[in-house]
Amino acid sequence: MSGDNRVGYEILANKFVVAGFLKDPLPEDVIQKFEDESAKGRQYAQGYIIHVDRTVRKDATVKDFHELCLKHFTAEENPYYPYFWVVLDARTAKDGTVLVYHDRQPDYDKKAEDPPEELRANPSGLQVLLSCLDVSELTISDILINDRPDDEVDTWVYDVPFDHSEQHQNARVAVDKFESKSAKSGEFTILHAKDVSKVAPNFDASKEVEVWWFGKVPEKILLQVIKDDNTLVTYAK
């Protein structure tokens, strides 16, 4: 997709879900630990949440993932951000780290046809990392040039952890508690509940919740709430 055809900021402002993909088969507890750790970085209701498609795409290349995001996430109707994605691989099971990809806006040193930039990161810093890449002039290339030691090219990990879990009241909820339907594209499942307290009793009643999930849905999903104002993160209607 060329720079002229990129999704406008007015649409991107309402896209708060980042796709997570499995490059290798991983135990569910490893995936859930990643979800829990990445959630810790959220200080406010605004921000990104990562939904991990449980489909294993072992043979997928960076280009394949990139094309998948552009094909399915540019439509205004769904909340997935098309220019970020995260890959969980065999190393995730060893040290918890993941690969982050950013298809950044073309500029003086980035052509539209250049491949997405890649960075390995610890999950608790993803909230701030993605926000900075989105709204500031920070790029993954800048981070690698300025922060990565020359002798750690193959091992270095972006590790700027944040832990705001004391502000959270999260719940992992079985998907069979929701109403479920397929979206128009057929690749998405929409999980819906008119009253979130029916699926997660600790949450305030009367709040409607709708979760879009690309690919294979897990048996349980993580819902997040910020305790200070009881805001249901990314899902409040």
Burial class (CB in 10 A: 0-12, 13-18, 19+), 40: buried
What does the alpha-carbon distance between residue 100 and residue 1 come to, in Å, rounded to a whole number? 19
What does the alpha-carbon distance between residue 119 and residue 152 come to, in Å, rounded to a whole number? 13
What's the confidence (pLDDT) of residue 156?
A: 92
Q: What is the mean pLDDT of the chain?
A: 87
∠ CA 212-130-169, rounded to 5° = 60
Burial class (CB in 10 A: 0-12, 13-18, 19+), 150: exposed
What does the alpha-carbon distance between residue 69 and residue 221 come to, in Å, rounded to a whole number? 21
Query: pLDDT tens across 7-20, in order?
Result: 988 998 889 999 99
What does the alpha-carbon distance between residue 138 and residue 180 come to, in Å, rounded to a whole number? 39
Amino acid, single-letter form, for residue 92: T
Quick one: DSSP state of residue 236? B
3-152, what's its fold? Rossmann fold (3.40.50)
Query: pLDDT tens across 115-134, in order?
Result: 899 999 999 999 889 988 88
Nearest to 198 by CA among 211, 179, 180, 217: 179
Residue 147 to residues 98, 109, 141, Cα–Cα distance (Å): 18, 19, 10
- Segments making up each domain of the chain, as ranges: 3-152, 167-232
Query: pLDDT tens across 26-79, in order?
Result: 999 999 999 999 998 887 766 789 999 999 999 999 999 999 999 999 999 899
One-character DSSP codes across 116-161: PEEEEE-GGGHHHHHHHHHHSS--HHHHHHHHS-GGGTTT--B---
pLDDT over threshold 60, residue 3: no
Residue 218 corresponds to which tokens in the numbers above? Answer: 């897990």
User: Minimum mean pLDDT among 58-67, 84-93, 168-177, 227-236: which range?
Assistant: 227-236
